[in-house]
């Protein structure tokens, strides 16, 4: 991790600016995380089979969606650099090209989700779960094009230091999902049939369209972005700007996919060890995932602040922005890590009454407390590098750390190797996760320190991938 710079008035100002920018993003990410929670609660009340179907369907939906989501997150870095360089007139045309890219990515994902249920049998999914999982995926797929376009609009706002719409529309979608999901899952006498898991998928898709319409209406009406003429022209797709977005964004999407895949693979390996280890791991990873929303939002805010400083040629400013991000993430991770360390038994008890599951989950939550620091530093480093539009080498670092170190070490420690290495079960897998994320944190933060020293001073800059 990079050392913290001395506390100066300018650094304190940067801390406040980054915190204000990140706070609505944190709320927005939490609302997104709670959508899955709402789906699970409604499904659980509908029945065990529905809950199982929604769990499988959600995994089938979100894991591949990380690629287009990560690809589109190249937009805030580009927008913030143009804004910092005083080239606001170029933001509108770039946004419209990003909308074309989002539309294509949304349609590709729609086709993929239409076909993926055909693979459920080969994945080994139980026959009684397949119909519900298929119905959920086929229902939610209709919202994917809307989600891609919404993310494009949201990332534009984020890149221009305006993150409140992300929070407001995120929680608005959550409020809408509760009655809509319940009505479509359970049915309404004389009005709606009982659709179970499929109804929850349809409800989630409708919420995505509602969020898109709300964000589009906001962008059309607000005076904040009136000078950008975001919808003032309709240009055909152009290869150069779309290619630039893909070169920067696609490695981000693949990095997100590798990290998400690491946790999915870990869950599958632990699933081989039995119901108790699997349930305990699910508790610990669910808690960790909620905690992760905070550093993830801080990383997005750091991307914007670093990108803006790069655009105006302010090397000291971009380093100050990154250091502020590191300082904030250390503080937040210290808070979450301490909470997990001190309240691990109580948190585990909230999830289950099974003594064996609770005991193992409490142990894993102690490891999750350690997990917070490298996880926060590595995602913040990725965000800072994204502000420099450096994404390809971080993708390779992630591949090495996650799949070259974390997963193999976890599998060896978790499952054991004959008589040579005793099997540590889930604890071994978590040691592997911690090791992989620690390596990623060290390599990525070191790369940022090195690359940030190359930024030209005193001239407006819009960088390409790799600097």
Confidence of residue 77 (pLDDT cuts 50, 70, 90): confident
Q: Lowest-confidence range among 101-105, 122-126, 212-216, 411-415?
A: 122-126
Q: Which residues pair with 417 in a beta bridge?
A: 421
d(CA 327, CA 225): 31
Q: Does residue 396 have a pLDDT over 80?
A: yes
Encoded tokens for 433: 């996760």
Comparing 312 with 334, the larger pLDDT belongs to: 334
pLDDT of residue 419: 57
pLDDT of residue 1: 44
Separate counts of helices (H) and strands (E) for the chain: 16, 0
d(CA 126, CA 103): 34
Please check whether residue 467 lies inside any domain of the structure.
no
Q: Give the residue numbers spanning the domain of 89.
A: 9-452
Q: Does residue 187 have a pLDDT over 80?
A: yes
- Rounded-to-10 torsion of CA 308, 311, 317, 323: 60
Mean predicted confidence (pLDDT) in 59-82: 87
Tens of pLDDT along 419-449?
A: 566 778 888 888 998 999 999 999 999 999 9
Please check whether residue 2 lies inside any domain of the structure.
no
Comparing 120 with 246, the larger pLDDT belongs to: 246
Number of domains in the chain: 1
Q: Is 355 left (phi over 0), alpha (psi -120 to 50) or beta?
A: alpha
Chain-centre distance of CA 104, in angstroms? 21
Please check whether residue 466 lies inside any domain of the structure.
no
Please check whether residue 120 lies inside any domain of the structure.
yes
Please check whether residue 388 lies inside any domain of the structure.
yes
Tens of pLDDT along 98-147?
A: 999 999 999 999 999 999 888 878 777 778 878 888 999 999 999 999 99
pLDDT of residue 463: 53
Mean predicted confidence (pLDDT) in 33-57: 77
Please check whether residue 347 lies inside any domain of the structure.
yes
């Amino acid at each position: 991790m990079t050392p913290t710079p001395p506390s100066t008035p300018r650094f304190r100002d940067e801390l406040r600016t980054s915190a204000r920018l990140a706070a609505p993003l944190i709320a927005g990410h939490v609302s997104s995380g709670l959508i899955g929670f709402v789906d699970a609660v409604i499904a659980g009340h509908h029945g065990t089979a529905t809950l199982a179907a929604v769990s499988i369907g959600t995994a089938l939906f979100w894991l591949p969606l990380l690629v287009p989501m990560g690809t589109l997150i190249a937009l805030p870095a580009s927008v913030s650099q143009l804004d910092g360089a005083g080239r606001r007139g170029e933001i509108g045309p770039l946004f419209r090209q990003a909308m074309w890219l989002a539309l294509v990515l949304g349609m590709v994902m729609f086709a993929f989700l239409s076909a993926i249920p055909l693979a459920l049998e080969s994945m080994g999914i139980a026959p009684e779960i397949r119909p519900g999982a298929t119905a959920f995926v086929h229902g939610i797929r209709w919202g994917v094009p809307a989600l891609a376009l919404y993310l494009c609009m949201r990332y534009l706002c984020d890149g221009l230091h305006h993150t409140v719409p992300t929070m407001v529309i995120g929680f608005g979608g959550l409020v809408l999902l509760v009655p809509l999901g319940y009505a479509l899952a359970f049915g309404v006498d004389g009005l709606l049939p009982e659709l179970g898991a499929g109804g929850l998928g349809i409800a989630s898709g409708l919420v995505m369209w509602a969020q898109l319409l709300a964000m589009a209406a906001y962008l059309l009406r607000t005076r904040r972005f009136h000078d950008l003429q975001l919808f003032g022209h309709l240009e055909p797709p152009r290869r150069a700007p779309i290619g630039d977005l893909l070169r920067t964004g696609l490695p981000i999407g693949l990095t997100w996919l590798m990290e998400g895949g690491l946790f999915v693979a870990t869950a599958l390996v632990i699933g081989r060890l039995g119901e108790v280890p699997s349930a305990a791991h699910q508790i610990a990873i669910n808690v960790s995932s909620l905690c992760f929303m905070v550093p993830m939002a801080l990383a997005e805010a750091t991307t914007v602040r670093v990108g803006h400083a790069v655009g105006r040629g302010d090397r000291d400013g971009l380093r100050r922005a990154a250091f502020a991000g590191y300082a904030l993430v250390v503080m937040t991770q210290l808070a979450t890590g301490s909470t997990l360390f001190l309240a691990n038994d109580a948190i585990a008890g909230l999830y289950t009454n099974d003594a064996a599951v609770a005991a193992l989950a409490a142990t894993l939550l102690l490891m999750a407390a350690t997990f917070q620091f490298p996880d926060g530093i590595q995602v913040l480093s990725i965000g800072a590098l994204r502000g420099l539009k450096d994404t390809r080498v971080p993708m390779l670092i992630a591949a090495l750390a996650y799949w070259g170190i974390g997963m193999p070490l976890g599998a060896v420690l978790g499952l054991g190797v004959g008589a040579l290495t005793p099997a540590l079960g889930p604890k071994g897998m978590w040691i592997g996760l911690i090791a992989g994320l620690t390596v990623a944190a060290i390599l990525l933060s070191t790369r940022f320190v090195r690359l940030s020293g190359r930024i030209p001073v005193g001239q407006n800059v819009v960088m390409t991938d790799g600097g």
